[in-house]
Amino acid sequence: MSALIGLLAAVIMVPFVVGCETTLAMMFGPVQRETINFETLDPGARTNRYLVCPAGYCAAATPDRISPVFEETAAALQGRWMAMIERQPRITPGPGNAAARQYDFIQRSRFLAFPDTVTIRFITLGAARSTMAIYSRSHYGSSDFGVNRDRIEAWLAELSPPSP
């Protein structure tokens, strides 16, 4: 019995000793970081993701929502996005491509620190019009209980101008 208690205590202590990210990698494998190409993205039958694209932009995928259009430059939209992201909990910047205006962010769940990656690309539509493509996905499991959708919808609502 004492051996069982010792084993249980050791298992419980693993996240505290090696860290949550290492523990998750030991249990589920390392997070697969991938560069997203929105034009060829095919998320397949995954249900633990949420995709927002301008009409016709994500040619290989059906978006869950069509991107809103903003009456501002892509640079201005990007600035507002970055300011909003800084206010979000448990989020860190990932790789980015400034020339393509595409960036990754990793947000971890509150209790178990499961990582979700959000990729965003800011798209110029005209002199003072822009939009974005967003792909939010979980790395572990097959369901996210709507977390990716809820996250992106809340962020889009925060970025949208107030209704008159």
| pLDDT tens profile 93-108 | 999 999 999 999 999 9
| Strand arrangement, sheet containing 102-108 | 65-66, 49-53, 129-138, 115-126, 102-108, 91-97
| pLDDT tens profile 1-11 | 666 665 555 55
Please give the model's pTM, rounded to 2 decimal places. 0.81
What is the per-residue pLDDT for 113? Answer: 80
What is the per-residue pLDDT for 164? Answer: 47
The Cα–Cα gap between 15 and 112 comes to: 10
- Which domains, and CATH codes, for the chain? 1-30 (no CATH), 35-159 (3.30.310.220)
Three-class DSSP category at 129: strand
Supply the angle between the helices 2-18 and 20-28 in degrees, to the nearest 10: 110
Q: Which two tokens mark 37?
A: 């190409």
To 5 degrees, how large is the angle CA 109–CA 33–CA 87?
Answer: 40
Window from 23-37, 73-87, 135-149 with minimum mean pLDDT: 23-37
